[in-house]
Amino acid sequence: MHKPTLNCDMGESFGAWTMGMDEAVMPHVDCANIACGFHASDPGIMRRTVALAVQHGVRIGAHPSYPDLAGFGRRSMACSAQEVEDLLLYQLGALQAMCRAEGTALSYVKPHGALYNDMMRQPELLRAVMRALKAFDAKLPLMLLARRDNRQAEALAAEQGISLWFEAFADRGYDAEGYLLPRSQPGAVHHDAERILAQALGFARGEPLTASDGSALQLRADSLCVHGDNADSVAVVARIRAALDAL
């Protein structure tokens, strides 16, 4: 049995528009994936979210994305590998500035949304993300999707000298290879609290889950994610925290 950390996407409000329940969730997580202004957030929200994480002793991760505020970063964009590398560097620098102002620093990087999904299927984009980390701070781990077979990602990380944290999602459905089901498909996002809790504990215990085709899927997770924009996940996060602490 391996006790994973618990992470959540945060700082995803924008101006007067509120997304998520950061104040309620932050006390229960180990890692906060903070939006960097390209899919959500603005300078004030970024800094306040960093300060909230510092208050609760939570590790801060950059949550960079494609430049897609209107689509919340969930639409793929035709960015070249060089553009992705540059987009990452820009966003990491912005969040690191907020961290420095609050007396802390970035602990890891986890891309968001369509960029996250695209890099898992396109090695040239994943390599670009890793190049950005190497140029910015090679000591920062990259958090990415745990799949049935992680060897390709591990080989690219070794090539770039980057460490990896593999994550699994308590509130998402998977296909047989360990990719997340597209949100347009039935069963892609779980809304039943008991199912979300059971899936989180199953990952922590090293148990397989049932993929969309009915096959058993075994994933090794260093961290578990709950989505801050899924009210059903937010409602169960305290129970997940308590259950992980009890393992």
Percent of the chain with pLDDT over 70: 98
Among 3-12, 61-70, 227-236, which stretch is predicted with the lowest mean pLDDT? 227-236
pLDDT band at 162 (very low <50, low <70, confident <90, very high): very high
pLDDT at 228 over 80: no
Token reading at 145: 């999707």
Mean pLDDT of the chain: 95
Half-sphere exposure of 188 (CA within 13 A, CB side): 8
- What token pair was written down for 102? 């609050």
pLDDT tens-digit readout, 96-140: 999 999 999 999 999 999 999 999 999 999 999 999 999 999 999
Bridge partners of 34, per DSSP, are: 10, 62
User: Is-contact 143 108, C-beta < 8 A?
Assistant: yes
Domains identified in the chain and CATH numbers: 5-246 (3.20.20.370)
pLDDT for position 229: 66
Burial 111-126 (b: 16+ CB within 10 A, else e): bbbbbbbbbbeeeebb
Q: What's the pLDDT score for residue 235?
A: 79
Q: Is the pLDDT of residue 152 over 90?
A: yes
Please name which of 57, 56, 76 lies closest in space to residue 66, comparing C-alpha atoms.
Answer: 76
pLDDT at 1: 53
Give the pLDDT band of residue 181 (cuts 50, 70, 90): very high
Cα 73 to chain centroid distance, Å, stands at 13
**CA atoms 9, 11, 15, 17: torsion sign:** positive
pLDDT, average across residues 227-246: 84
Average pLDDT over residues 210-216: 96
Q: Residue written as tokens 């919340």? A: 72
